[in-house]
Structures are given as structure tokens and as C-alpha cells.
Structure 1
């Protein structure tokens, strides 16, 4: 059972989402974006690199990044659209509450540490399968970013696809496993571009993509 502090933190997070939505509606009403916007959720275990990658993709400094407590929202611009990414903390005591943030989501970004231990990899698999099986996210396109590909112990995309049983578990949705690392942040942007193609109904031809 969550502690009073955890419940308070989740309530504060829900209030922040409401305030953010109201702010966008009121403050941006006079100057609406000319680009289409999509609402994404970013999930993954703690220390997978979610906050750092999203911060770098926004062109912001990634110095002194702290683990996300609650959630962060990042607007990642592309030429043809803006991806509003809601990143949720990945701590063990937060993961049971991920589903409280699934409303009005159009796509999923799931970031993994591809070089993690076998034990943690099993935990990642279990959490990913919960996300893929959740009714609120049924059929939504998903991008799995395999972070830390610059590490010698990193698992390659084909191995991840096999070990996660994605051909079966992700059936009925568009999905992609894409390698990335901090050293080459453009690889993560390339993965998000492919997810954007899914959202716009544009075919992606790549071995690690499935439709």
C-alpha cells in the first residue's frame, strides 16, 4: 500500500497535469501552433535515461539530471509536428500508478537500458508487457528506444525483439525497436521521427519495425 507521501505526490502530479493543460489552452489560444501536436507518454525503469534523452532532444542542457519524481513534460519539435511527451518516473513504487497517466495518449515511448543486468532486463520485460496489455493503450503505436548502445554489453535490436516476444505481444499495433545512446542523440530523434510517421499513417520500412 502506498504511503501518505506517495499518494500526496501522485495527487500533486495529477494537479500539475490539469494546470498544464489549462495553461496551454489559455495562454496559447491567441497564437496556436501551425504544426499538428501529438500527445505521447514516455515510460521505462529508473536510470534508463528517459529524462536525459528527452532533455537533449529539446536542445536543453543535460547537466545534473535528477531522477524524475512524478512526471515531466517536454515538447519536442519536428518540421511537420510537435511531440508533447509526458515522462513518468520509473521507480518501483511509482510504476503501479503509471496507468493513471494513460488518458488522451496517442503514442508510447518506452526507453530501456539495453546494457542492464539479466535480472533487471526481466523486470523491464514484465513492465513492458503490462503496458502493451493495458486496455487504455490498446492499439497505440509504440517506440522502444534501446539506450546505451555505446556500451559493450548492450543488447542489439534483434535480440531485444526476440527476448521481449514482441512479434506476439505487440501484434495489432505499429511498433519499432530503435537503438540510441547519449553519444548520438540524433539516433533517438530518428526513432521519434519514425514514431511520428506511425502517428501520421506513413509506412516505415525497417527491419526492426512492425505493422
Structure 2
């Protein structure tokens, strides 16, 4: 008996068992080609960012965070792929939209249209959005505030849960922070967004 007792005692001390599984969320990541989706996700997965080519079709990455794992389905942003984006929306629990804040007015307009249609898409409109105004380190970059005005986010996304942050691959700590806030929106999905 003493042997069993000391064994159990030893087990309790040593083998705390595996940590509880982190919740997993399925997230779709969209944005025009060149917005920087692949680079940001690769850096979040601690992969090198050299040799990154634009995503054709889609790729799925499990991105680990301290309190959750995001299964990010990244959709290529080229025109011939964009028209199929909505086929991949099903089952998503959140949306990451990456835009190039230093792009031409024409591309910014295109990004704005894509974001607007995503915010209004029946499969996405109730989900939390993380909008990253990427390439903030470029001289021509517009600030998140300018983007917010230009994209008319206030009237359009009222009552939705969304975060708009600037991002750059040189400051992954800030990007991780943005994703941290996004994860808390995903966790708190039981609260109904305010109806407009």
C-alpha cells in the first residue's frame, strides 16, 4: 500500500498531464494581391519570409497564439481567384482583411470594394473582422485613421465587431497584439453584435 501511495504522490507531482487544448478558430484571410497576407502569416508562424510567392488558389496555415490556434485559410487576391472567394467562406468564424496602405488610389478603391462586399456577405456579415492596414513602413502609407475614413467603416460596420490596425512585417509584436484582440472577439462570440 505504501508503495502505491508514494507512486500516486509522485505521479501527482510529476505528471501534470498535457496542458488543456487551446481553442481553435477557423478564419478566412482575404485581400488583394500584394497586400502582404502571405508574408504576415508566414512571420506569425515563424517561417522565413524570403522566397514568398503570391498565393494562387488558397493555402491553410495553423497559426499558434498563446491562448488559441487560428486555422487561417488564406485566399489568393488575383482577379481570377477573387471571384471564387465566397466559395471558401463557409465555416469561417472570423475574417482577416489585409490591405496595402501604400497602394495606388485605384488599388485602394478595389480593396475598399472587396472589404465592403465581405462585410455585407451573408456568411461573413455577423463575424468579427480584423482589418490590417499593412505596409505602414512605406513612405506613401496612409494612416489607419485615413483608411477608416476612406473606407467609410464607421457607417458601414456599425454594430459589427471589427478592429482596424496598422501593420508591418518589421513589427510582428504589434501584429500579434492585433491578433490577440481579434481572438478575444472570437472568444466572445456568444454576445450578439448590436443590431443597427
- TMscore range, shorter length: 0.7 to 0.9
Which structure has the bigger radius of gyration? 2
The aligned residue for residue 165 of structure 2 is 178
May I ask how many residue pairs the two structures share in their alignment? 172
Structure 1: 5+ residue runs without aligned partners? 1-30, 203-211
Q: Deviations over 1:51-71 (max 9, x none)?
A: 111001001111110110111
- Of the three residues 51, 59, 66, the one matched with 1:72 is 59
Q: Is 2:5 the counterpart of 1:41?
A: no
Partner Cα separation in structure 1 for residue 121 and residue 93 of structure 2: 14
Report the CA distance between 1:172 and its aligned residue. 2.4
1:55 and 1:194 map into 2 onto residues whose CA distance is: 19
Q: Residue 15 of structure 2 corresponds to which residue in structure 1?
A: none
Give deviations 1:134-193, integer Å, cap 9, x for gaps: 111121000001111011111111111111011111122100111111111222211111
- Which segment drifts farther, 107-116 or 77-86? 77-86
| The one of 123, 138, 162 aligned to 2:149 | 162
Q: Which residue of 2 aligns with 1:54?
A: 41
Deviations 1:70-128 (A, max 9, x none): 11111111111111100000001111110000111000000000000111111111111
**Secondary structure at the residue paired with 1:109?**
strand
2:77 corresponds in structure 1 to 90
Q: Which runs of 5+ in 2 are unaligned?
A: 1-17, 190-196
Aligned structure 1 segments of 4 or more residues deviating by more than 2 angstroms: none
Alignment equivalent of 1:142, drawn from 114, 124, 129: 129
Which position in structure 1 is the counterpart of 2:12?
none
